């Protein structure tokens, strides 16, 4: 019994100590009871110590569109391969391929003079493992994709009609489909669709929807006794490739983003403690004059990297850019070796916050970097700079450049004493 009473007494003493401790003033990093309203500060372009744009490596992925044509010095080819074909046939008629255009630039005429069709050689390619340069998954005939890998179809063997945004390719000969079915090696390499014009177009792929994706239609009889039937097949593989090399260009003191060729932004900026201290109300007292602890307890309500766009060198058709910030965890950047990007994926860390979206017609793009500033001033991350990347690299020709006067707008709440 005495042991039980002693144990209870000890617990009561501990509780009293805890309660008494919580009655002391505590620094709290939130605007909680409204003791202080949020304050606003701005880091102007003079706070930025390093600014680079750099070419990144390609990482082809599923996309809602495939691009064919030319823009800003880049050329893109569309690859199309239908599967689920009949195992055999007795006769085939009326072979057609239909495509739907999402958007286009300087591509008003769509016919045999502007679109080129070619059959790919005996090369099996796959949508997520097809590269411009030869690799284990894409065995082109030379070091990279070239006209050695395809044979142009004669213009008299097909007719291209376009009504509105619907393209219909009518083959006058059925041998192209017959060859795909009869291929002894079961390769069925499909088609290349490309253009020599100065414009480009975006074509919906099978990832978009069942209503807009490429479709192969034909009539056939599998045996002589069968009735002639219409067969409709949706594409299995559809993607685009574009010319790349192993040289990664870097531009100092330039701010630009591109999806094809992928171009990212790296920037580093100074965050001086004075920007938070100097704006405090006159009657605010930093507890124990501990500025480091004060910075750790600040709440960053919102921080935005503001990039100004004067409208020059922007994407020529409607579109939006989706940008996301990444922490740089590498101590140094590669400014010397051209065969390696300025920063690789191993040099950055995803922040896992929602991306910032804006149309390319606005004068400013604001990127949410709230977590970046919070982690920097709290000391959770070293300030090695950040990388801004598009979330739609390799998807389209979107390209935009920004003025060299970025700024960071910060809204924060200082910690306060709670009695």
pLDDT in tens, the chain (419 residues): 444 545 445 444 444 433 334 333 333 333 334 457 899 999 999 999 999 999 998 765 668 888 999 988 888 899 999 988 998 899 999 999 999 999 999 999 999 999 999 998 888 787 766 777 777 677 888 888 888 989 999 888 999 999 999 999 999 989 999 988 887 665 688 899 999 888 999 999 988 877 889 999 999 999 999 999 999 998 788 888 887 777 899 999 999 998 888 999 999 999 999 999 999 998 888 888 899 899 999 999 999 999 988 666 667 777 788 899 999 999 999 999 998 999 998 999 987 766 777 766 678 889 999 999 999 998 889 999 999 999 888 888 888 889 999 999 999 999 875 54
Burial class (CB in 10 A: 0-12, 13-18, 19+), 3: exposed
Both 286 and 388 in one domain: the answer is yes
Both 141 and 30 in one domain: the answer is no
Q: Where are the beta strands (DSSP E) in 175-271?
A: 191-194, 200-204, 215-221, 229-234, 237-242, 250-252, 255-258, 263-269
pLDDT at residue 33, as a whole number: 41
* Domain boundary pick from 201, 226, 242: 242
Q: Cβ atoms within 10 A of the Cβ of 122, count?
A: 12
Both 123 and 162 in one domain: the answer is yes
Q: Could you give the number of structural domains in the chain?
A: 2
* Domain boundary pick from 205, 224, 242: 242
402 found inside a domain: yes
User: Which domain covers residue 276, as residue numbers?
Assistant: 26-57+248-418
Both 72 and 44 in one domain: the answer is no
Both 88 and 194 in one domain: the answer is yes
9 found inside a domain: no
Q: What are the Cα distances from residue 305, in Å, to 101, 124, 354? A: 35, 45, 14
Both 33 and 135 in one domain: the answer is no
pLDDT at residue 1, as a whole number: 44
Both 386 and 294 in one domain: the answer is yes
Both 212 and 356 in one domain: the answer is no
Closest Cα partner for 191 from 99, 94, 76, 79? 79
255 found inside a domain: yes
pLDDT at residue 325, as a whole number: 93
11 found inside a domain: no
Both 225 and 343 in one domain: the answer is no
378 found inside a domain: yes
pLDDT at residue 187, as a whole number: 63
pLDDT at residue 156, as a whole number: 87
5 found inside a domain: no
pLDDT at residue 184, as a whole number: 64
pTM: 0.81
Closest Cα partner for 371 from 320, 273, 415, 305? 305
181 found inside a domain: yes
* Domain boundary pick from 242, 259, 294: 242
Both 128 and 253 in one domain: the answer is no
CA–CA gap between residue 197 and residue 113 (Å, rounded)? 9
CA–CA gap between residue 93 and residue 117 (Å, rounded)? 19
pLDDT at residue 327, as a whole number: 93
Sign of CA dihedral 163, 169, 170, 172: positive
Both 229 and 353 in one domain: the answer is no
Name the 3-class secondary structure at 269: strand
3 found inside a domain: no
Cis (ω within 30 of 0) for the bond into 261? yes
Residues 6+ apart with CB under 8 A from 261: 55, 58, 74, 242, 244
pLDDT at residue 347, as a whole number: 95
Both 189 and 78 in one domain: the answer is yes
Closest Cα partner for 59 from 355, 397, 394, 344? 394
């Amino acid at each position: 019994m005495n042991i039980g009473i002693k144990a209870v007494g000890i617990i009561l003493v501990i509780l009293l100590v805890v309660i008494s401790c919580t009655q002391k003033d505590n620094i709290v990093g939130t605007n909680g009871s409204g003791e202080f309203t949020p304050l606003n500060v701005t880091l102007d372009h003079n706070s930025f110590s390093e600014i680079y744009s750099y070419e990144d490596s390609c990482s082809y992925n599923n996309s809602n569109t495939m691009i064919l044509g030319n823009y800003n010095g880049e050329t893109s080819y569309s690859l199309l391969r239908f599967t689920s074909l009949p195992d055999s046939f007795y006769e085939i008629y009326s072979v057609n391929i239909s495509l739907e255009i999402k958007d286009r630039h300087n591509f008003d005429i769509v016919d045999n003079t502007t679109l080129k069709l070619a059959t790919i050689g005996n090369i099996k390619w796959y949508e997520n493992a097809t590269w411009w340069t030869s690799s284990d998954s894409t065995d082109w005939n030379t070091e990279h994709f070239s006209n050695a890998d395809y044979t142009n179809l004669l213009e008299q063997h097909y007719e291209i009609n376009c009504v509105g945004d619907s393209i219909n390719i009518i083959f006058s000969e059925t041998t192209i489909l017959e060859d795909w079915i009869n291929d002894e090696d079961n390769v069925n390499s499909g088609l290349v669709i490309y253009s020599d014009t100065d414009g480009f177009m975006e074509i919906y792929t099978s990832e978009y929807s069942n209503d807009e994706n490429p479709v192969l239609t034909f009539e056939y009889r599998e045996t002589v006794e069968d009735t002639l039937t219409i067969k409709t097949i949706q594409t299995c593989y559809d993607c685009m490739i574009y010319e790349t090399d192993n040289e990664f260009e870097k531009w100092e003191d330039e701010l630009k983003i591109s999806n094809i060729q992928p171009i990212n932004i790296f920037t580093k900026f100074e965050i001086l403690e004075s920007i938070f201290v100097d704006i405090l109300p006159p009657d605010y007292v930093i507890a124990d004059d501990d500025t480091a602890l004060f910075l750790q307890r600040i709440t960053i309500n919102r921080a935005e990297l503001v990039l100004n766009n004067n409208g020059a060198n922007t994407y020529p058709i409607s579109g939006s850019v989706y940008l996301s910030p990444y922490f740089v965890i590498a101590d140094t950047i590669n400014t010397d070796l051209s065969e390696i990007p300025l920063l690789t994926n191993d040099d950055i860390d995803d922040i896992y916050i929602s991306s910032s979206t804006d149309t390319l017609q606005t004068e400013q793009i604001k990127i949410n970097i709230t977590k970046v500033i919070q982690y920097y001033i709290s000391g959770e991350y070293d300030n090695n700079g950040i990388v801004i990347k598009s979330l739609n690299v390799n998807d389209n020709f979107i390209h935009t450049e920004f003025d060299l006067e970025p700024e960071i707008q910060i809204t924060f709440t200082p910690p306060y004493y709670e009695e």
